[in-house]
Amino acid sequence: MPSLSDVQAARTRVRDQLTLTPLTRSRTFEDLVRSRLHFKFENRHRTGSFKERGAINRLLHLTEEEKARGVITASAGNHAQAVAFHATRMGIPATVVMPETTPLIKVTNTRRHGAEVILHGQRFSEAIEESRRLEEERGLVMIHAYDDELVIAGQGTMGLEILEQLPEVDTVVIPLGGGGLIGGTALAVRSLKPDVRFVGVEVEAAPSAYRSRQEGQVVAIETSETLADGIAVKRVGDRTFPLIEEFVDEIVLVKEEPIARAILHLLEREKTVVEGAGAAGLAALISGRIQVEPDENVVAVLCGGNIDVNMLSRIIDRGLVDDGRLARLRITVRDRPGSLARLTDLVARAGANVLEVVHQRAFADISVGEVEIIMHLETRGRDHVEEILHLMANRGLEVVEVVRPSRPGY
């Protein structure tokens, strides 16, 4: 298990090769998170995530003979880009095995950074197995994404930065996948300031550390599709789990909907792009999964920003639905001239925007003298939707279905 001195040595080693990411207080979330909330912008690294910290530290330990042989890793994307970029910069051949489900932007960027990319399997665990096979077959050096003491020590350098940037920190919230970032960071911070609380956040679709803590040992799980693909690992690390057990106070789980909301809020309020995994910590805070006090200095780590633009578009739409600003109404009206015009006029007077209208007779379960209208509306939020429904009811319009969130929290 790495020590504080290992993290401090890594800090000295990588300091001049890393971007010092900002840590700033966010006042734009005071209505959602009742504490002194700060963000650590790990999405500002050159390859878009914290993974550079561990990758650089591990690469700098290679011998000349190992550099000549080349390195290999398995990654869902962020570690892949970090290894590819810095290995190429150092003149080291790099091979990266990625799951076939990896977002396109991560695959493209990894290739652009100079690595040979091999797509294999549907899950991260399958990519790891293939990388181990190629490691033996080609005689390459493995750079594990998280279960490596040098990688853990490199990730832990973030903790030293947090203490320098916010000495009065009380709680640190970190998305939890394999455990390298939270393990190294918690080790570093609590070795110097033992009373800091650490909370790890996993997505419900991939609760590997949560289940391992319940069992008291590392266990493998089955993962499901999730927006937070960067932390969707089947098995937490053998080296990281003891650190998690010793230094991490809580592990909480979040659903998909709060993650979509968090991505959308970060775009609108902080003007920053964060991927699903990177938004998990904020999602846990705004959905009430983590209890904080008004005078508490909380640091939420935005661990990555590599998100496919097509996925981002879908997440924005999903976030808008979750936030109540997109709604779909299915309305039955009499099949008479002007019915649709009166309906759209009512919506316009209510201040909503019609995005799409479907006007159907033959394929709806309605009487011959009726027509079904499906409207997609852009609104100000849940209260605005209720206001529109009230206006329609007063006009005698029958709304037979409303697709919108049933409650504000998850």
**Domain final residue, candidates 287, 320, 353:** 320
Q: What is the mean pLDDT of residues 315-336?
A: 83
Q: Are residues 242 and 160 in the same domain?
A: yes
* Helix-helix angle 382-394:339-349, to 10 degrees: 140
- Contacts (Cβ under 8 Å, ≥6 apart) of 373: 330, 331, 332, 333, 340, 343, 357, 358, 359, 360
pLDDT tens sequence across 279-322: 999 999 999 999 999 999 999 999 999 988 888 888 888 778 87
283 three-state secondary structure: helix
Residues 170 and 128 in one domain: no
**Looking at this protein, which amino acid is placed at residue 358?**
V
Q: What is the mean pLDDT of residues 205-219?
A: 96
Residues 66 and 21 in one domain: no
Residues of the chain above pLDDT 70, percent = 96
pLDDT at 23 over 70: yes
| CB within 8 Å of 371: residues ≥ 6 apart | 332, 333, 334, 335, 339, 359, 360, 361, 364
pTM for the predicted model, two decimal places: 0.86
Which CATH number do you get for residue 349? Answer: 3.30.70.260
CA distance linking residue 252 with residue 280, whole number of Å:
10
Short-list 143, 194, 155, 208, CA closest to 40: 155
Give yes or no: residues 194 and 311 share one domain: yes
Residues, the chain: 410
**According to the model, what pLDDT value does residue 397 have?**
83
* Per-residue pLDDT at 407: 45
Domain residue limits at 233: 4-49+149-320
The pLDDT assigned to 366 comes to 61
Same domain, residue pair 307 and 186: yes
Does residue 410 form part of some domain? no
From 296, 320, 344, the end of a domain falls on 320
User: 104 and 170 share a domain?
Assistant: no
Do both 202 and 244 map to the same domain?
yes
Q: What integer pLDDT is reported at residue 34 of this predicted model?
A: 93
Task: Answer yes or no: do 138 and 168 share one domain.
Answer: no
- What's the total number of domains in the chain? 3
In a domain, 265, yes or no: yes
DSSP class of residue 269? Answer: I
Residue 170 has pLDDT above 60, yes or no: yes
pLDDT of 203 above 60: yes
What CA–CA distance (Å, rounded) separates 171 from 294?
12
Q: Are residues 285 and 330 in the same domain?
A: no
Dihedral sign for Cα atoms in the order 218, 220, 224, 226: positive
Same domain, residue pair 274 and 379: no
Boundary residue ending a domain (320, 339, 354) = 320
79: domain CATH number is 3.40.50.1100
306 and 223 within one domain: yes
pLDDT at 83 over 70: yes
Of the spans 151-165, 215-229, 299-313, which averages the highest pLDDT? Answer: 151-165
Q: In whole angstroms, give the CA distance from residue 245 to residue 249.
A: 8
Work out the average pLDDT over 98-104.
84
The runs of H, that is alpha helices, within 120-230 are 124-138, 149-155, 157-165, 180-192, 208-215
* pLDDT given at position 139: 96
> Does 409 map to a domain?
no
Which SS3 state, helix, strand or coil, does residue 390 take? helix
- State mean pLDDT over 178-191: 98
Per DSSP, 232 falls in state -
The pLDDT-based confidence of 410 (bands split at 50, 70, 90) is very low
Q: Is residue 408 part of a domain?
A: no
219 pLDDT higher than 90: yes
Cα gap 66→59, rounded to integer Å: 10
Q: Which residue, among 140, 153, 171, 128, has the nearest Cα to 299 in the 3D structure?
A: 171
Mean pLDDT of 325-354: 88
Pair 104, 242 in one domain? no
User: pLDDT averaged over the chain?
Assistant: 92
Kindly give the pairing relationship between strand 23-25 and strand 171-175: unpaired
Give the mean model confidence (pLDDT) for residues 130-138: 95
Residue 382 identity (one-letter amino acid):
R
Question: What is d(CA 286, CA 29) in angstroms, rounded to the nearest whole number?
Answer: 9
> Please, which residues have CB within 8 angstroms of residue 215's CB and are 6 or more apart in sequence?
none
**Beta-bridge partners for 98:** 119
Q: Residue 47 pLDDT > 60, yes or no?
A: yes
